[in-house]
Structure 1
């Protein structure tokens, strides 16, 4: 992931260097890290780290900070990826897809497809199987929906064998 960040950052600003990328990596891992902690980890003085951090914020390389929510503690035990293919791409279609999805769970991410009309919704739900049945009954009845695909997904953490194979392929 850092390689992708580096490529996209360099496309925007040639003044971004390895220390800036290290700051981005540290903040990606923990946005609440103290400046002194980051400076120790990247071997740069606290004042230089803070100056670079502020520059990254002012130049919108860092756009903001977000809370990471543990939805299972709120009763949402599954996450589904919902792909909705539509006949048109219009604000009212996006609003309707979002409105329906919100009735079945908590939307964690909502994307517009760029290669064809449609949306991808990540939805935290209490039960994937119950929600799948309900969504399959509700969404296809809308006139603008051409197709619907649901997938039960789970995050890959550092203990997952897939994580290790990904790390090995990056080196």
Structure 2
């Protein structure tokens, strides 16, 4: 990735709906050149997709929690999480715990139900999210060639 590609990726992370004409103006290239660079970034899977960011509160999911699991059955827990509508993210990790699950639900009662339903797969430790910050732009690491 050269500097222009980095700027294209940055701008698309800030606004995936930007027109190719606007993007071209920002990076000082022609629209066809930018379209070709974006296509190559997609082919290289540097750009994996384009997504809508939604307001969880307006989706009636104001309660967020991070749940750590010491799992008895990792595959069953993963299957449960992948199929549960409240689960936003699920990570299998190494260490004392085996899974980290991020959920967004509509009430304390639905959080309790999730915990109760998941206990057959392991021991949960629930952390309610009070506030959060998510990076909107991810910069590539600078790798020095030897």
Under TM normalisation by the shorter chain, which class is it? 0.7 to 0.9
Q: How many residue pairs were aligned? A: 135
How far, CA to CA, are the matches of 2:79 and 2:43 in structure 1? 32
How far, CA to CA, are the matches of 2:97 and 2:127 in structure 1? 17
Find the residue that maps to 2:13 and give its secondary structure.
helix
Aligned to 2:11: 26
- 1:74-131 CA-to-partner distances (Å, cap 9, x unmatched) read 21122222222213432x33112444x43xxx3222222244663222222112x334
- Please give the root-mean-square deviation of Cα atoms over the aligned residues, in Å: 2.6
More helix, by proportion: 1
Matches within 5 A, 1:14-163: 16-90=1-75, 92-99=76-83, 101-102=84-85, 106-115=86-95, 118-127=98-107, 129-140=108-119, 142=120, 144-156=121-133
Structure-2-length-normalised TM-score: 0.74
Find the residue that maps to 1:67 and give its secondary structure.
coil
Larger relative contact order (CA 8 Å, sep ≥ 6): 2
Structure-1-length-normalised TM-score: 0.65
Residues 88 and 117, structure 1, Cα contact 8 Å, conserved in 2: no
Structure 2, unmatched stretches of 5+, are 136-146
